[in-house]
Structure 1
Amino acid sequence: MKLVAFDFDGTLSDSEMTVLLGAQCGVAEEMETITERAMNDEIGYAESLRERVGLLDGLSADGVETAFEDVELRPGTVDVIRALNDAGVVTAIVTGGFGRGVESALARNDLPVDTIVANQLVFADGDLTGEVEGPLIEGTKDDALRAVADNAGVALDETVAVGDGANDLPMLEVAGLAVGYEPKPAVEPHCDEVVASMAELQELLEDRSIL
């Protein structure tokens, strides 16, 4: 049995959830700057995430849902994941982004994924508190991949990790096959393969007999 674990923001989606949330309260540009620094490994991921979420303090639940409705999957994502599901491959999303945003995008595309490991925004009285909680703030994606693989009964060397940013590096480094999706310059040297579209990814998975 095989397992394919995807990052979400910048990989399955070209939307950046924190930027969409930031647009709801006028801080999208600040969000984007912090995100870019983190993805290029200029600041730690946990620090960057807390900085970004802190800018969202006071955003209403309605504003959050509006932002998450704008989270879109990349062209071809549905085809890749459906093909993996049809082939009996375990699918996972391992993201430092927010579970509700991932679930929203998947539901709109009627797209099942076996496991989602994600962080969550914290609300109080219907508004964001500017805090975030979850397994991928201080925790790293290698531990998450190991746990998902163990739960699925898949050996680590039978896993594929697909990601683009610095916080994906731990997952890419321990996976049996590391695939960079338009990876950042600091990430590309750590990838076994690099793709620039979901069609390319599907072709690669077919060539590697995963599909």
Structure 2
Amino acid sequence: MTVVAFDFDGTLSDSEMTVLLGDRCGVADDMAEITEASMNDEIDYAESLRKRAALLEGLPADDAQAAFDEVELREGAADLIAELNEAGVTTAILTGGFERGVATALEREGVSVDHIVSNHLPMNDAETELTGDVTGSLIEGTKDTALENLASDVGAGLDDCVAIGDGANDLPMLKVAGLAIGFEPKPAVEPHCDVVVTSMAEARDELVADGVLEER
């Protein structure tokens, strides 16, 4: 059994969910600055995520959904996921981003993955606006633990896992996976990648070279 675990923002998608949400309440620049510092491993990821969520306090539910509707998969991502699924590979998205944005993007392209591990932005009791809080297993928890748990659940070893990511919060899963693929990785991340790619086509080539997929 092979597991391929993707990061989402910056990897499967070139969108950044917190920035799209921040656009809706005029804090996109602040969001981008915090995100960049986190992805370069300059500030703790959990702290950065809480700071970004706090900036969204009071954002109306309709505006939040409109931001999630803007999240898109990058070129070739849907085809690669579909091919992995058809090949019987266990596919997963491990993201510090938000399940609603991931689900919206996947549904638009008509593809799915076997497992999504993500975070959530709670609404107030009336379900009318964001509270400014964030919940989920990938705030304090790290992606190595998430990948280890997933591999155990499906009966795979970590050597049979492929991790694909770009930012500092991907480092834990990149370090434990049998194959670590950096997708346009940040400078702090690149030294820990076995290979570096800049497109989904190149990622597919590496999966073929590793025997996960067959040559067309």
Fold agreement, TM-score > 0.5: yes
TM-score (structure 1 length as normaliser): 0.99
Runs in 1 of length 4+ with deviation above 2 angstroms?
A: none
Give the structure 2 partner of residue 33 of structure 1: 33
Give the structure 2 partner of residue 127 of structure 1: 129
Asked if 1:140 is matched to 2:134, the reply is no
Q: Secondary structure at the match of 2:141?
A: coil
* Aligned residues between the structures: 211
156-165 vs 145-154, which moves further: 145-154
Deviation of 1:75 (Å)? 0.2
Give the structure 1 partner of residue 199 of structure 2: 197
Q: Secondary structure at the match of 1:119?
A: strand
Asked if 1:163 is matched to 2:165, the reply is yes
Separation in 2, partners of 1:144, 1:179: 17
Mapping of residues 176-195 of structure 1, within 5 Å: 176-195=178-197
Tell me the amino acid that sits aligned with residue 114 of structure 2.
Answer: D
What are the superposed Cα offsets for residues 63-85 of structure 1, whole Å, 9 maximum, x if unpaired?
Answer: 11100000010100011111101
Tell me the amino acid that sits aligned with residue 210 of structure 1.
Answer: V
Deviation of 1:207 (Å)? 1.4
Q: Secondary structure at the match of 1:161?
A: strand
What are the superposed Cα offsets for residues 94-131 of structure 1, whole Å, 9 maximum, x if unpaired?
Answer: 00000111001001111010000000001102210000
Give the structure 2 partner of residue 91 of structure 1: 91
Q: Secondary structure at the match of 2:123?
A: strand
Tell me the amino acid that sits aligned with residue 203 of structure 1.
Answer: D
Asked if 1:152 is matched to 2:154, the reply is yes
Deviation of 1:151 (Å)? 1.1
Give the structure 2 partner of residue 82 of structure 1: 82
Separation in 1, partners of 2:196, 2:36: 20
Separation in 1, partners of 2:4, 2:33: 30
Separation in 1, partners of 2:108, 2:168: 28
Give the structure 2 partner of residue 8 of structure 1: 8
- 5+ long unaligned stretches in structure 2: none
Kindly report the root-mean-square deviation, in angstroms, between the aligned alpha carbons of the 2 structures. Answer: 0.6
Q: Secondary structure at the match of 1:116?
A: strand
Give the structure 2 partner of residue 106 of structure 1: 106
Q: Secondary structure at the match of 1:123?
A: coil
Q: Secondary structure at the match of 1:26?
A: coil
What are the superposed Cα offsets for residues 111-160 of structure 1, whole Å, 9 maximum, x if unpaired?
Answer: 01000000000110221000000000000000000111111111111000
Separation in 1, partners of 2:47, 2:53: 10
Separation in 2, partners of 1:68, 1:152: 30
Deviation of 1:204 (Å)? 1.0
Separation in 2, partners of 1:78, 1:158: 22
Deviation of 1:60 (Å)? 1.0
- 5+ long unaligned stretches in structure 1: none
Q: Secondary structure at the match of 1:131?
A: coil
Separation in 2, partners of 1:109, 1:133: 27
